[in-house]
Amino acid sequence: MATKGGFRRQGAHEWSADCRPDALHAACEGSLRRLVLDGIGLYQLHVVDAAVPIEESVGTLSELQSEGKVVALGVCNVDLEQLARARSTAEIVSVQNRLSLAELAALDRERLWSYCANRVARRARIHAVRARGALRGRAR
C-alpha cells in the first residue's frame, strides 16, 4: 500500500502544502486509521512546503519509519536540489513527479528522471500522464 502526506484540503477544490511535523504525523495516523493498517508500505511526501525545510519534513517521515508506521519513504513533485536534500536526510526509494504527454520537452524533468533511474530510487512513478484531461479536451 502506498499513500502520501503533506497536502491539506482547504476547500472543495483548494489544496495547500502542510508539511509541518505535527501535520505529517496526523496525516499518517489518519491514513493508517482509514486504511485499517498497522503500517504503510510506501509513504510519500506529497509536495514540498515552502514554509518547512524539506529536511525537516523528510526527517519526520523517517521518524514514522522508525516507529514502524512506514516501511519505505518517497517524495513527490521535487526538483533535483530538493531530492538531494531529501536524500541527505533519509533513504528515498521512490520519486513521483508529474510528467504528461504535453510536457515531454521539459528538460528539468528529463534530467530528474534520468538521475532517479540511474542513481536514486528503486521505484519511479509519474502522474497526470494525460495532462489532467487537456489532451482529451477536458482540462481540469
Domains and CATH numbers, the chain: 2-136 (3.20.20.100)
3-state secondary structure of 139: coil
Q: What is the pLDDT of residues 46-88, one digit of tens each?
A: 999 999 999 999 999 999 999 999 999 999 988 889 999 999 9
What is the 3 state secondary structure string of 36-105? CCCCEEEEEECCCCCCCCHHHHHHHHHHHHHCCCEEEEEEECCCHHHHHHHHCCCCCCEEEEECCHHHCC
Q: What is the pLDDT of residues 84-133, one digit of tens each?
A: 999 999 999 988 877 665 655 554 666 666 655 555 555 555 555 455 55
From the list 4, 58, 55, the residue with the least C-alpha distance to 30 is 4
